[in-house]
Copies of this chain bind each other. A is one copy, B any other.
């Protein structure tokens, strides 16, 4: 796993919406989670997504998501050890959030389009 730096993130309030945003409410984190739902697993795959996340940001977000128990990493090779990332149950339960964001965007943000590969995320459960 990448270098883990300790960083406290005290919650801004007891509001559960604010609490969620404190964990994943930045410009990039939810896009990494979206990619995990799409089946991507490796650093290079995330980096290749069309939004073009800066690599240092990606590395930091992966560390943070794992520290918060939203993703887990497992080595898939040695020398050098490389890790594949996957959503934990906690991360998987963000599906409703991604679904709501995606449906709203498809309806209200012009220029967006639901890719076929992502249709599963948008089906009602």
List residues of chain A with CB under 8 Å of any chain B CB: 11-23, 25-27, 30-31, 34, 49-52, 90, 93-94, 96-109, 111-115, 118
Contact = CB atoms under 8 A, between A and B. Distances in A.
Contacts of A93: 104, 107-108
Contacts of A107: 93
Nearest to A30: B21
Contacts of A49: 13
A103 B16 contact: yes
Given A97-B101, A100-B96, A25 B16 contact: no
Nearest to A105: B16
A73 to B, nearest CB: 19
Contacts of A16: 101-106, 109, 112-114
Given A26-B27, A34-B15, A20 B99 contact: no
A96 B104 contact: yes
Output the residue of A20, A50, A90, A118 with the most chain B CB within 10 A.
A20
